[in-house]
């Protein structure tokens, strides 16, 4: 009877162990899914639902990149992989297009663009030599480049690791589990600059937390004399930093549009749209923003509205 009970316990423990391992393997297989259209952030819906502008604003973006200079943290070795994506400029241009408020023009790859235009001019001139004067008039003329009245500057100015860390574990008679959490933080600044005067028209900043979670379960038990059973299973999820940077960038574009609207830097097509839910939600969020006060030693003193 005792041997039968021991066998049943062993069978139950093995089934539980295989079940947990299968769940972990199944969750891990998510990373092998096929490519998708793109990632949609939590703020994307608010950005694309903003009411239309009086007219689109032509803007130029030269550089909007990582200004932290930080590398990925590794506890045992030195790594030269950057902690923050170097493609924030592309993210910003995409966010400007999605907002339907701005018309971005190419400036990051300006040397390549100018080189290509030189090739067009030289090819046209060579082709012109083989045409008559009447045919030369029909050749298309390369139009001048567009210029922007506003430049957008800024970048990722801070990446803080282990802002919040914690965990919890429970064990009872050799069986138990534990969970850990960690939160990093990325901060970006975005400002609009007048090309004509050099004046900074508006500057905004946004912050996004990057969450990491880990859960594991294990059994350590003697099922019979001199026979030890040990089962372990675990799963860790890390929020991709580049997705958090994308959300912070889209939030900055959203804030810049509304702040510029309130300061009359640009206008709505219909002034009554100021009452729209997307704008009112921002005003409510801004009103509820809390100020965090620290002392000289870096200790939290108080949180006030």
Domain extent at residue 101: 2-107+148-270
Confidence of residue 26 (pLDDT cuts 50, 70, 90): low
Task: Examine residue 207 and state whether it is found in any structural domain, yes or no.
Answer: yes
pLDDT range class, residue 106, cuts 50, 70, 90? very high
Please report, for the domain that includes residue 6, its CATH number.
3.40.50.10610
User: What is the average per-residue pLDDT within 56-83?
Assistant: 77
For residue 126, tell me if it sits in a domain: no
Domain count, the chain: 1
Per-residue pLDDT tens digits for 241-254: 888 889 999 999 99
Q: Are 252 and 44 in contact (CB under 8 A)?
A: no
Share the mean pLDDT of the chain.
80
pLDDT, position 80: 63
Q: What is the pLDDT of residue 92?
A: 94
* Least confident piece of the model among 90-94, 177-181, 287-291: 287-291
In a domain, 288, yes or no: no
Ranges 8-17, 93-102, 136-145, 279-288: which has the least confidence: 8-17
Greatest alpha-carbon span in the chain = 108
pLDDT tens string 135-153: 666 677 888 899 999 999 9
Arithmetic mean of pLDDT, 182-204: 92
Q: Has residue 178 been placed in a domain?
A: yes
On whether residue 166 sits in a domain, the answer given is yes
Q: Where are the alpha helices (DSSP H) in the chain?
A: 2-28, 44-48, 88-99, 110-128, 133-136, 241-262, 277-287
- pLDDT tens digits, 211-233: 888 888 888 777 676 777 777 88
In a domain, 265, yes or no: yes
Spatial distance between the Cα atoms of 169 and 179, rounded to a whole number of angstroms? 6
Interval 87-114 mean pLDDT: 92
- List the helix and strand counts (H, then E) for the chain: 7, 9
Nearest partner of 20 among 196, 180, 177, judged by Cα:
177
CB–CB of 154/189 below 8 Å?
yes
Q: Provide the pLDDT for residue 295.
A: 65
């Amino acid at each position: 009877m005792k041997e039968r009970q021991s066998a049943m316990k062993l069978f139950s423990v093995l089934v539980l162990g295989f079940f947990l391992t299968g769940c972990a393997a199944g969750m891990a297989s998510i990373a092998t899914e096929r490519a998708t259209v793109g990632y949609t952030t939590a703020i994307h819906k608010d950005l694309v639902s903003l009411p239309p502008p009086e007219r689109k604003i032509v803007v130029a973006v030269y550089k909007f990149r990582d200004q932290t200079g930080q590398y990925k943290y590794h506890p045992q070795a030195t790594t030269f992989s950057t902690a923050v994506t170097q493609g924030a400029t592309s993210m910003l241009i995409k966010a400007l297009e999605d907002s339907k408020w701005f018309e971005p023009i190419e400036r990051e790859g300006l040397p390549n663009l100018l080189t290509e235009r030189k090739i067009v001019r030289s090819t046209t001139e060579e082709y012109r030599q083989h045409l008559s004067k009447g045919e030369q008039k029909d050749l298309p003329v390369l139009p001048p480049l567009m210029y922007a009245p506003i430049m957008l500057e800024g970048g990722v100015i801070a990446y803080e690791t282990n802002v919040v860390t914690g965990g919890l574990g429970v064990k009872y008679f050799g069986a138990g589990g534990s969970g850990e959490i960690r939160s990093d933080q990325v901060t970006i600044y975005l400002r609009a600059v007048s090309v004509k005067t050099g004046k900074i028209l508006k500057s905004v900043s946004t912050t996004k937390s990057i969450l990491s979670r880990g859960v594991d379960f294990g059994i350590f038990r003697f099922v019979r004399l001199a026979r030890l059973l040990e089962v372990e299973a675990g799963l860790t999820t890390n929020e991709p930093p580049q997705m958090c940077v994308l959300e912070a960038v889209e939030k900055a574009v959203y804030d810049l549009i509304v702040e510029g609207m309130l300061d009359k830097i640009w206008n709505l097509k219909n002034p009554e749209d100021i009452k729209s839910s997307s704008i009112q939600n921002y005003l409510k969020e801004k009103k509820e923003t809390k100020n965090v006060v620290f002392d000289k030693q870096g200790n939290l003193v108080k949180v006030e509205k």
